[in-house]
């Protein structure tokens, strides 16, 4: 029977490869996604437009403005003529923030009085506004410190120096790509397996396969293994892009990552085959995949931390295989996750895989005999 199982795997690989549309969906789209999403799904705020209303027009105010202009985060600085310009600038989204330097600014500074500047932010994009505020505060603080030093004053007694571990330059690519890697691995494994049975049903070859001496277990094994091979091949490509094109480091052990990935993919393929056994057309299968993927990814910690969720929901996420793999993938890329931490996420994954594969087998048998 070994040769017949092998024939089935070869057939599955060929069927996926020879269908041109399928080939593009499976091969090209994850590569494009990893490249586009890496740059699009970033928390970083770049290219901010800042509007400045300088009522002080002194050397110091000009110095402050030129620092904003020199900062890489603020690509454009526009000048406003009066207070009445502020509201329309924010309203029309011409600028994300307005820096308002009052008339008293340089006088107060010379008089060694606290000098205030006002920063008005567009709260409609709250996240970007918050990050922009951080940049602005940093620039102002630095000027503050220099002025104090020049005047022979002592600086503030203690200063917080932040250092970001595992990502020393706070490069957001480093934090988004490993998560994206986990999500794309999931999508590919899921799509290939979910389409496999549904495609045969839709195109009419399913019964021909069923009357062959292959048992239903062998049919499922052939489909699961070919999906596994395809998914591993693709994640390898994505990993190479991540490491050599996007420059994300791989600190952890490749062997551990691949080992964990196989267990994880089996759990995903189990779900995929379950969906496929239920669907009679490829369209239904794709809808099924979407129904699973959207919540599973939202509850995985890929975009929003699991620790921010309510307790009961956090407990629920433990049965979500994506959640475990996101931890493993981020850990493997950035911080050489120790084997015991991986193991803590691996045994739930193994249980989930056993459960989903058994469910798929049961449903497949139930629907076909």
Partner 1 sequence: MSEALVQLNRLVKRFDGMPHPAVAEITTAIMGGGITGLAGPDGAGKTTLLRLILGLLKADSGTLSVCGRDPLSEAAEVRDLVAYMPQRFGLYEDLTVIENLTLYADLRAVVGEERRAAFERLLSFTNLAPFGGRLAGALSGGMKQKLGLACALIRTPRLLLLDEPSAGVDPVSRRELWRMVRTLTDEGIGVVWSTAYLDEAERCERVLLMNDGRLIYEGSPSGLTNRMVGRSFHVRNAGEGRRGVLASAAKMPGVIDGVIQGANVRIVMAAGAAPLSAEDFKGVSQVEVTPVPPRFEDAFVNLLGSATPAVSRLAAGTRRAKPDAGPVVEAKELTRRFGSFTAADRISFSIGRGEIFGLLGPNGAGKSTTFKMLCGLLRPTSGEARVAGLDVAVQTSAARNRLGYMAQKFSLYGDLSVAQNLAFFAGVYGLAGARRRRAVERVTEAFSLQRYLNTNAGMLPAGFKQRLALCCAVMHEPPVLFLDEPTSGVDPLTRREFWAHINAFVQSGVTVMVTTHFLDEAEYCDRIALVYRARVIAAGTPDDLKDSVRTHALPDPTLEDAFIALVEADDKKVAA
Contacts of 258 (CB under 8 A, 6+ apart): 232
- Select 201 or 345, whichever has its Cβ closest to partner 1: 201
Name the residue nearer to partner 1 (CB basis): 13 or 31. 13
15 vs 145, beta carbon nearer partner 1: 15
Name the CA radius of gyration of the chain, rounded.
28
CA triplet 116, 119, 122: central angle to 5 degrees? 165
Give just the sign of the alpha carbon dihedral 209, 210, 215, 218.
positive
Strand ranges (E), the chain:
48-54, 74-79, 97-101, 117-121
**If 0-12 CB within 10 Å is exposed, 13-18 middle and 19+ buried, where does residue 140 land?**
middle
How many whole angstroms separate alpha carbon 262 and alpha carbon 35? 24
Nearest to partner 1 of 153, 203 (CB atom): 203
To the nearest whole angstrom, how small is the minimum distance from the Cβ of residue 6 to partner 1?
7
* CA distance linking residue 8 with residue 14, whole number of Å: 10
Least separation in angstroms between CB 3 and partner 1: 4
The distance of closest approach from Cβ of residue 22 to partner 1 in the complex, given in angstroms and rounded to an integer, is 8
Shortest Cβ distance from residue 195 to partner 1 (Å)? 13
Q: Minimum CB separation from partner 1 for residue 202, in Å?
A: 11
3-class DSSP assignment, residue 183: helix
Binding site for partner 1 (CB under 8 A): 1, 3-4, 6-8, 10-11, 14-15, 18-19, 203-215, 368-369
Q: 220 or 238, CB closer to partner 1?
A: 220
Nearer to partner 1, 183 or 227 (CB): 227
> Contact at 8 Å (CB) between 196 and 277?
no
């Amino acid at each position: 029977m070994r040769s017949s199982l092998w024939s089935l795997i070869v057939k599955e690989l060929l069927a996926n490869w020879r269908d041109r549309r399928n080939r593009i969906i499976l091969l090209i789209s994850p590569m494009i996604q990893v490249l586009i999403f890496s740059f699009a799904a970033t928390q970083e705020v770049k290219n901010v437009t800042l509007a400045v209303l300088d009522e002080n027009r002194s050397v110091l105010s000009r110095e402050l403005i030129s620092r904003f202009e020199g900062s890489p985060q603020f690509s454009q600085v526009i000048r406003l003529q009066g207070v009445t310009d502020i509201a329309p600038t924010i309203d029309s989204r011409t600028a994300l923030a307005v820096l308002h330097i009052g008339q008293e600014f340089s006088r107060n500074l010379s008089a060694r009085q606290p000098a205030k500047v006002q920063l008005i932010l567009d709260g409609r994009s709250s996240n970007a506004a918050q990050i922009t505020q951080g940049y602005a505060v940093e620039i102002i603080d630095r000027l503050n410190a220099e002025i104090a030093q020049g005047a022979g004053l002592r600086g503030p007694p203690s200063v917080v120096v932040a250092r970001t571990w595992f990502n020393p330059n706070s490069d957001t690519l480093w934090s988004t790509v490993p998560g994206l890697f986990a999500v794309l691995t999931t999508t590919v494994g899921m799509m290939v397996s979910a389409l496999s049975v549904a495609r045969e049903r839709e195109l009419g070859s399913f019964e021909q396969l069923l009357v062959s001496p292959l048992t239903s277990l062998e049919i499922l094994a052939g489909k699961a293994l070919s999906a596994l091979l395809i998914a591993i091949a693709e994640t390898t490509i994505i990993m190479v892009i991540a490491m050599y094109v996007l420059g994300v480091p791989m600190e952890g052990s490749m062997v551990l990552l691949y080992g964990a990935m196989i267990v994880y993919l089996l759990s995903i393929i189990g779900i995929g085959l379950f969906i496929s056994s239920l669907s009679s057309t490829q369209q239904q299968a794709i809808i099924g995949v979407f129904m699973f993927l959207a919540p599973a990814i939202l509850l995985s910690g890929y975009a929003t931390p699991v620790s921010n969720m309510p307790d009961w929901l956090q407990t629920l996420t433990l049965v979500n295989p994506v959640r475990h793999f996101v931890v493993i993938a981020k850990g493997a890329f950035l911080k050489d996750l120790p084997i015991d931490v991986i193991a803590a996420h691996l045994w739930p994954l193994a249980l989930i895989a056993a459960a989903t594969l058994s469910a798929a087998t049961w449903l497949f048998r139930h629907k076909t005999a």
